[in-house]
Amino acid sequence: MHIDLTGRTALVTGSTQGIGAAIAAGLARAGARVAVNGRSAERVRAHAAALEREVPGADVVPVAADVTTEAGAEQVAGALPRVDVLVNNLGVFGSADPLEIADDEWRRYFEVNVLAAVRLTRLFLPGMTGRGWGRIQYIASDSAVVTPAEMIHYGMSKTALLAVSRGFAKQAAGTGVTVNSVIAGPTRTAGVEEFVYELVDRELPWEEAQRAFMRAHRPQSLLRRLIEPEEIANMVVYLSSRQASATTGGALRVDGGYVDAILP
């Protein structure tokens, strides 16, 4: 399958590291003009330059803005009057005693993980439907379906994204715009590595720590290892393509078989 996104502009939120960075690279390799986003102008410029080196000839646009605020989202829309592919990747996660999570923390998880994505969808979906083509994706998580006790606030936000995705897919019905969510399983990023070491012996070498974490805390994984960010990106790039034109309103799993169900 040859995926060609030449002529398309993609915005990936939270794309200076981790899964977002891998998605930005995957879209750039497929020929898309890619907007790299983050809050720090310095980090955004540095990662945009790194992406140009990684993918020779890539058309990369650095867009520094805090999309968790209305002003930041409007700033992005001003910098990118046309977006063909919107990947709502930005998110926060962490573990906490569920009885100790304060109201403000619940609000923060909802505002960052859900409302920021809703806001950008409102800004860019009308242009997509007007042009008769577009792709919107939300990076969800296995925690949306199998919510760990220590991550209830995070799981709540990712479950909400599944509803948001399905609802906006209905709003875009028949327009040529597809809307989907991607259920990412336990994935290796710098933040997840730190999270793993919060739960297992910090003296263990990484490979042993990873396997210990999977055995003790994610035993239902059929992959038996953490997913690499590029493996998530592969699904996102496919969903961004013309080949995925009949896939909409879905919650597609790249979870290593973690969710113990045939359907999410």
For 97-126, how does the pLDDT look when each residue is reduced to its tens digit (9 = 90+)?
Answer: 999 999 999 999 999 999 999 999 999 999
The parts of the chain modelled with pLDDT lower than 50 are none
Task: Quote the pLDDT of residue 239.
Answer: 98
Task: Quote the pLDDT of residue 182.
Answer: 98
* The domain over range 9-187+231-250 is classified in CATH as 3.40.50.720: yes
Task: Quote the pLDDT of residue 264.
Answer: 66
Of 154, 197, 238, 258, the catalytic one is 154
Residue with tokens 């008769």: 132
Distances (CA, A) of 135 to 167, 168, 177: 14, 11, 6
Task: Quote the pLDDT of residue 263.
Answer: 79
Task: Quote the pLDDT of residue 192.
Answer: 83
All CATH 3.40.50.720 domain ranges in the chain, comma separated: 9-187+231-250
Per the CB < 8 A criterion, the answer to whether 23 and 15 are in contact is yes
138 is catalytic: no
